[in-house]
Amino acid sequence: MEAATTGEIALPSVVDLFAGFFIVGVYGFGGVLPWARRMIVEQRKWLTPVEFTDMLGLCSFLPGGNIMNVTIALGARFRGIPGAAACFLGLMTAPVAIVILLGIVYDRYAYVPSVRQAFVALSAAAAAFVLATAWKIAWPLRGKPLAIGVAACTFVAIAVLRLPLMAAMPVLTISSTLLLSRFRK
């Protein structure tokens, strides 16, 4: 039934699903999304571009890592729970193993001055990377004073007042949704 909507290809097996996402996990330096799309849409043709965009829309809307959610939604669609597990483990196995290795190596050599200094600079650059991300996603807000106000309130609540996210997130999300939908029309 699902296969008809995704072209003439056979339903991917659990092994295919694991293998496809395993490669995405290995290649996914500096963001997995482009690699995931390449594998799912262009190489293996598991989804059409429109289906992929739709699925990504759902997975960005729900909480959790976008691509982690994609592994669950895509795996579940083709092979139910085993499929979801295969995709998720496929994506995560290599990166988690690599990051554990890096962590162990880092702990062992952190006392070496040049390693320590490299990490001081790398940490600063990584902070700048988050700043650049914030800048880019905030850009579309210009000219929308209400949304800017909500973003500013969130910033103050979390970065300045250091409120727990558990308390702040529902309040901010609900007020933002009500405020923006009231004044949008």
Partner 1 sequence: MSTLSQLAAVYAQLSLMAFGGANALIPEMQRQVVDVHHWMNAQAFAALYALAQAAPGPNMMIVSVIGLRVGGISGALVTTGAVAAPSSVLTFFVSGVWDRFKNASWRKALQAGLQPVTIGLISASAALLIESTAVDWRTAFVIVVTAALFIFTKLHPLLILGAAAIAGAIGLVG
Residues 136-165 that bind partner 1 (CB under 8 A): 136-138, 141, 147-148, 150-155, 157-159, 162, 164-165
Among 3, 9, 15, 122, binds partner 1 (CB under 8 A): 122
Tokens of 98: 């690599």
Q: Is the dihedral of CA 142, 143, 147, 153 positive or negative?
A: positive
130 counts as binding partner 1 under rule CB under 8 A? yes
CB of 110 to partner 1, least distance (A): 8
* CA distances (Å), origin 70, targets 86, 108, 152: 12, 35, 30
User: Of 15 and 144, which has the nearer Cβ to partner 1?
Assistant: 144
Among 12, 20, 25, 90, binds partner 1 (CB under 8 A): 25
Tokens of 100: 């554990």
User: Of 41 and 169, which has the nearer Cβ to partner 1?
Assistant: 169
User: Of 13 and 176, which has the nearer Cβ to partner 1?
Assistant: 176
What is the C-alpha to C-alpha distance for residues 154 and 148, in angstroms, rounded to an integer? 10
User: Of 9 and 144, which has the nearer Cβ to partner 1?
Assistant: 144
- Angle formed at CA 10 by CA 5 and CA 15, multiple of 5 degrees: 120
Within 41-60, the residues that bind partner 1 by CB under 8 A are: 54-55, 57-59
6 counts as binding partner 1 under rule CB under 8 A? no
User: Of 10 and 125, which has the nearer Cβ to partner 1?
Assistant: 125
Tokens of 160: 């300045």
What is the C-alpha to C-alpha distance for residues 26 and 138, in angstroms, rounded to an integer? 30
Within 81-100, the residues that bind partner 1 by CB under 8 A are: 81, 84, 88, 91-92, 94-96, 98-100
- Rounded to a whole number of angstroms, the distance between the first and last alpha carbons of the chain is 40
What is the C-alpha to C-alpha distance for residues 128 and 158, in angstroms, rounded to an integer? 19
179 counts as binding partner 1 under rule CB under 8 A? yes
Look at residues 98, 115, 87, 116 and name the one whose alpha carbon lies nearest to residue 29.
98
User: Of 1 and 136, which has the nearer Cβ to partner 1?
Assistant: 136
